[in-house]
Structure 1
Amino acid sequence: MTSKKRSSPSLSGKSSAAEYLSALSHKDALARNVVGVNGSRVSSPSTTPALSIASSSMYTSSSDDTEIAELVDDGLSFPSVPPTSEIVYTTRHSEFGHCSNEAYRYTPHHDPSRPVSGHVEEDPPYYILFTTYISYLLLIIIGHIRDFFGKKFYPKDYRHLMPFNGYAALNSDFDSFYTRRLKTRLDDCFSRPVTGVPGRTITLLDRVSEDELNTFKFTGTKTRALNVSSYNYLGFAQARGACADAVEESLNRYGISACGSRSQGGTLDLHVAAEALVARFVGQEDALITSMGFATNSATIPALVGKGCLVISDEYNHASIRFGVRLSGASVRMFKHNDMKDLESLLREAISQGQPRTHRPWKKILLIVEGLYSMEGTLLDLPAIVKLKQKYKFYLYVDEAHSIGALGAHGRGVADYFNIPPHSIDILMGTFTKSFGAAGGYIAGSHALVSRLRLRSHANAYAESMAPAILTQIIASLSCITGVESSAPSSALTSSHTVTASTDDSRDYRGPVPASCLPSWIELSPSLRSGEEGRVRLRRLAFNARYLSRALIKLGFITYGHADAPIVPLLLFHPGKMSQFSRLMLERKTPIVVVVVGYPATPLVTSRVRFCLSASHTKEDVDLVLDACDEIGDLIDLKHGSGERWPLEEIKRRAVELVEME
């Protein structure tokens, strides 16, 4: 399949992608201020229309001098450049949806006069809980009956569960029961193979099973679906654009191989620049970058605490935190999720009683919490924890894997969202796999702390250092969020890992990145260098998150989490409804890919679907999700929430009002 390409004189002949994007940005700005012949403002198309597999493969311009061609892949559209507001859309933008309607923006903020909303669990009707428990009971009884007779009559199928030829069983019968009897039946929902960029849409590799989902065969076809299942919060996971161009240039300059261990001379100028930019971004003195997000926690925590230390951990903390605490040898106590009263009671007991048996004072007390909890969608009550920290003098470790880049007016995480000085937090941890479209993670804190971690953290001393292409993606995406100073770029990079804290801003957040901190070969368009594109993405993400969360509640669903969180869990309760919901969403005219989660990742009776919003989504995309949820919710009986309900059409019409409601 081929596509035509017709360019305007003003856009043709550009020597680089950066110049072309700059011209597009200029035309977009002009389009927002078009004045008609009668003096009235001419409205331009506000958003990319809803996804349509049967849509045309060309953009149609509203004027003769602006037409942009589009690449076509498997009959689905992949625009080669971001479109402008001047275009009348007849197709969709697959990686990042265009939206010029300023009403579909929201600046997230926290009202200090209001308490932080806690984790509220709304119970469904009793018959839902009763049938959920009954379903698990039937699953266990029938499953064990099948196992008993299966071992007698079909021993070949159960060989891995029984001793054979002098060897012990490969798997434990009891431990693998849940996997065999429930997870395997949902493998078509849990293990969907994908290809390409996980942007606004995602491409699935179609497959079928002929043996009850035990094995699959690829059909050779693909399905492009609306993607509400990826942590691509700011939409930087794109195959085109300034970040992708910078990564391509870094591959040409540095190659594709990793750099080796940091302790063996694997530090490049890009490592120094990235660490300085991260420290500047989060408002700390120094930062350390690791090549794996999970290891950022699991390898750092043992370097911070050990025997004789106490770790106080939220009960819903991530597995990487639990693993790191276990490796450290420190004592650990859990407190109820986001329950500040339970936390203070635990602190008082721990400080007064000291270490077990000896009752000696603890060498160190470290509180570990997450900024945004990925399964619940809840935010950390940071103001209350900072008050407790001032009172009880413990150390505070905040995991911002999901909140960095996704929360706050500047995208700097929970401290930015609650307007709290970042130096109030001793250790800030985050990952680049979500908002920044890269990989790995970071630890930020005081210069003395990070210097010690460079020596003691196994993730720094023994692991492979981050590849140049990934570092470039981090530097480029960070620069897009913060903006770059207008001074002339320089090839000089920061010569030290330490970034001096600012004394002018009480939150220690510096402004745009100095051009001298970026490699001279990274080219960004004017809208990206100014930080305007980053601000727009943050506000679009906030609008999408609040709109979906509030709309689902008005439709009658039970949801968890904070309204400003880009993760929106919708409760399904019954384990059998996980597969039904996921399959029905994928079978719609416009397929939608969702993530369903059940036990043991969640409590037994709180199976859920977890929507992950992105700045790449448009309002029409969220409307598609609401349409699907409304129909499927009625079909499989999911609307058990309390409170006022609105009709779907009223929700769509009053979307802006719904988002701005407190």
Structure 2
Amino acid sequence: MITIPYLTALSTYLSYTLLFAFGQLRDLFRKIIDWGKSNNLQGYAPICLDSEDFYTRRLYLRIQDCFGRPISSAPDAWFDVVERFSNDRNKTLIRMDKVKHCLNLGSYNYLGFAAADEYCTPRSIESLKKFSASTCSPRVDGGTTVLHSELEECVAKFVGKPDALVFGMGYATNSAIIPVLIGKGGLIISDSLNHSSIVNGARGSGATISIFQHNIPSDLERVLREQIAEGQARTHRPWKKIIVVVEGIYSMEGELCNLPEIVAICKKYKAYVYLDEAHSIGAVGKTGRGVCELLGVDTADVDIMMGTFTKSFGSCGGYIAGSKELIQYLKYACPAHLYGTSISPPAAQQIISAIQVLLGEDGSSRGAQKLARIRENSNFFRSELKKMGFEVLGDNDSPVMPIMLYNPSKIPAFSRECLRKNVAVVVVGFPATPLLLARARICISASHSREDLVKALEVISEVGDLVGIKYFPAEPKKVHQEDGMLKLD
């Protein structure tokens, strides 16, 4: 639970009120000025009504230079950000020929595989020559290569499940799979902060949806008991099926799922567990096998394990892992498998090679070193941010660490000042987060050196003082003796 300082909440509400009020006034004056002018719609209704795109026009466009920044290099620890300028108050952004070499604190490149790798890259290039860039076909037609079969075996073995099925898009893995697993007469109980792909998949299923408070097992049990007691709406018949959907690491909070307690509750009430490990697979756990390994949960107790390859593995697509019966059913029933183009062969080879590195099958210890480095980097960076006085969300070992900004004016200020000092960050506000809870989301990578992290901390500290987002008193620096002189830590 985030406790917002009273004055911060008040100033945030006031800022949004002023933005809304002045935006509405400007729209009113524009309507008066344009009164009687032809709208040239020729009888068609407008696709976007003023009330529907008000937020985009009056708030987002003013700060859109903070979003969608194009890059011109691999998303490694450092990358090149293409500079842009606007001649019309940010309504349109024009790319320049110049680039800015920035420290990358925004990409999901948790293990550093997104850049050229001595083991993965040559094998992906070789697969490109052999299989081409695309199969140009769904899996069931002509889109299954030996790489796809090898990848599914590799994923199933890695996550500890009997079988797996891979897809070409991570978002579609959730949004297309959930409607196949459950429908009318079923019940989905979803964490209140689950990803939009889960939300869209649940809505498209036709099942009844109930929400429990974020990461609170006791509230999940309360919802389960009430729903089982009441049954289906109107008829009060028993639910055909109940699925509880949670994430391993919540991408906007950086929090680890309370998986052991949630699994115990689901077993008690005979509910299925659907675990989304998009941000946790490969990034946490002694061997990178995700939150089940980190928290000591038997994978046999998790019925459906979902994950993506777009983060730790430096590729694209997603997977579902489960029983052989489940995977066989999905192969016959899932539209993403039946109609979606299969994952690119070079992308499949990249994932296989990355998993081999993690397991040490490349003949080196680089995988273990990467896992140790991301854990050390994440815990060091989070600890130092808190010492500086920032309000940082998330748990230890999580590579995702949101820094709370709150006030809408601090969103562009923080982003632009960091970029000016050659540090690229991702800022997030409404509607991706609740109105009051704007934040900067920092993502740490194993490719970051300690020098990179120290530089980032220096810049964030300077910008934090300038913008005014250090909501807690900084910890006093410790004095130590070095070479006969007193120095501050």
Sort the TM-score into its range (normalised by shorter chain): over 0.9
Query: Hey, what does 1:148 align to over in structure 2?
Result: 28
What CA distance in whole angstroms lies between the structure 2 residues aligned with 1:152 and 1:246? 64
Instruction: Within 5 Å, give how 1:455-494 maps onto structure 2.
Output: 455-484=332-361
What CA distance in whole angstroms lies between the structure 2 residues aligned with 1:468 and 1:641? 49
On the 8 A contact 1:259/1:466 being kept in 2, the answer is no
Aligned mate of 1:220, from 76, 97, 112 = 97
On the 8 A contact 2:135/2:142 being kept in 1, the answer is no
Q: Partner letter of residue 287 of structure 2?
A: H
Shift of 1:259: 4.5
Deviations 1:214-246 (A, max 9, x none): 112222111110000000000000134221111
Query: Hey, what does 1:137 align to over in structure 2?
Result: 17
Deviations 1:555-581 (A, max 9, x none): 111111112110000001101101000
Query: Hey, what does 2:363 align to over in structure 1?
Result: 529
Shift of 1:247: 0.8
Q: Partner letter of residue 554 of structure 1?
A: K
SS in 2 for 1:545: helix
Deviations 1:98-154 (A, max 9, x none): xxxxxxxxxxxxxxxxxxxxxx41322x22211110000000110011111123336
Query: Hey, what does 2:399 align to over in structure 1?
Result: 566
Matching of residue 326 in structure 1 with residue 206 in structure 2: no
Identity of aligned residues (%): 45
Query: Hey, what does 1:576 align to over in structure 2?
Result: 409
Deviations 1:145-174 (A, max 9, x none): 111112333689x98xx6744332231111
Aligned mate of 2:378, from 539, 545, 548 = 545
What CA distance in whole angstroms lies between the structure 2 residues aligned with 1:646 and 1:313? 42
SS in 1 for 2:392: coil
Deviations 1:6-26 (A, max 9, x none): xxxxxxxxxxxxxxxxxxxxx
What CA distance in whole angstroms lies between the structure 1 residues aligned with 2:229 and 2:245? 20
Matching of residue 191 in structure 1 with residue 68 in structure 2: yes
Query: Hey, what does 1:618 align to over in structure 2?
Result: 449
On the 8 A contact 1:206/1:221 being kept in 2, the answer is yes
Q: Against the structure 1 CA distance between its residues 252 and 177, is the aligned structure 2 distance closer, same or farther, given a 3 Å change threshold? A: same
Shift of 1:205: 1.2
Query: Hey, what does 1:405 align to over in structure 2?
Result: 282
What CA distance in whole angstroms lies between the structure 2 residues aligned with 1:537 and 1:646? 32
What CA distance in whole angstroms lies between the structure 1 residues aligned with 2:288 and 2:66? 32
What CA distance in whole angstroms lies between the structure 2 residues aligned with 1:307 and 1:431? 27
Q: Partner letter of residue 471 of structure 1?
A: A
Matching of residue 645 in structure 1 with residue 467 in structure 2: no
Shift of 1:328: 1.1
RMSD value, Cα: 1.7
Q: Against the structure 1 CA distance between its residues 150 and 554, is the aligned structure 2 distance closer, same or farther, given a 3 Å change threshold? A: same
Q: Against the structure 1 CA distance between its residues 388 and 448, is the aligned structure 2 distance closer, same or farther, given a 3 Å change threshold? A: same
Matching of residue 445 in structure 1 with residue 322 in structure 2: yes
User: Which sections of structure 1, spanning at least 5 residues, go unmatched?
Assistant: 1-119, 485-527, 651-662
What CA distance in whole angstroms lies between the structure 1 residues aligned with 2:221 and 2:131? 51
Aligned mate of 2:3, from 101, 113, 122 = 122
Query: Hey, what does 1:286 align to over in structure 2?
Result: 163
Instruction: Within 5 Å, give how 1:228-247 maps onto structure 2.
Output: 228-247=105-124
Deviations 1:28-75 (A, max 9, x none): xxxxxxxxxxxxxxxxxxxxxxxxxxxxxxxxxxxxxxxxxxxxxxxx
Shift of 1:624: 1.1
What CA distance in whole angstroms lies between the structure 1 residues aligned with 2:55 and 2:264? 43
Matching of residue 422 in structure 1 with residue 267 in structure 2: no
Q: Partner letter of residue 272 of structure 1?
A: S
On the 8 A contact 1:312/1:368 being kept in 2, the answer is yes
Q: Partner letter of residue 369 of structure 2?
A: V
Matching of residue 592 in structure 1 with residue 472 in structure 2: no
What CA distance in whole angstroms lies between the structure 2 residues aligned with 1:649 and 1:364? 61
Instruction: Within 5 Å, give how 1:29-108 maps onto structure 2.
Output: none
Q: Which has the higher helix share?
A: 2
Deviations 1:471-524 (A, max 9, x none): 11011001000122xxxxxxxxxxxxxxxxxxxxxxxxxxxxxxxxxxxxxxxx
What CA distance in whole angstroms lies between the structure 1 residues aligned with 2:141 and 2:84? 45
Aligned mate of 1:345, from 218, 222, 229 = 222
Q: Against the structure 1 CA distance between its residues 483 and 314, is the aligned structure 2 distance closer, same or farther, given a 3 Å change threshold? A: same
On the 8 A contact 1:203/1:222 being kept in 2, the answer is yes
Matching of residue 636 in structure 1 with residue 467 in structure 2: yes
Q: Partner letter of residue 452 of structure 2?
A: D
Shift of 1:620: 1.2
SS in 1 for 2:140: helix
Deviations 1:446-466 (A, max 9, x none): 111111111111111111111
Instruction: Within 5 Å, give how 1:295-334 maps onto structure 2.
Output: 295-334=172-211
What CA distance in whole angstroms lies between the structure 2 residues aligned with 1:163 and 1:351? 55
Q: Against the structure 1 CA distance between its residues 163 and 387, is the aligned structure 2 distance closer, same or farther, given a 3 Å change threshold? A: farther
Deviations 1:267-319 (A, max 9, x none): 11111100000000000000000111111111111111011110000011111
Query: Hey, what does 1:255 align to over in structure 2?
Result: 132
What CA distance in whole angstroms lies between the structure 2 residues aligned with 1:562 and 1:612? 13
The structure number with the bigger radius of gyration is: 1
Q: Partner letter of residue 147 of structure 1?
A: D
SS in 1 for 2:96: strand
User: Which sections of structure 2, spanning at least 5 residues, go unmatched?
Assistant: 481-489
Shift of 1:648: 9.5
SS in 1 for 2:188: strand
TM-score (norm: length of structure 1):
0.71
On the 8 A contact 2:177/2:201 being kept in 1, the answer is yes
What CA distance in whole angstroms lies between the structure 2 residues aligned with 1:423 and 1:606? 36
What CA distance in whole angstroms lies between the structure 1 residues aligned with 2:250 and 2:417? 27
TM-score (norm: length of structure 2):
0.95
On the 8 A contact 2:134/2:343 being kept in 1, the answer is no
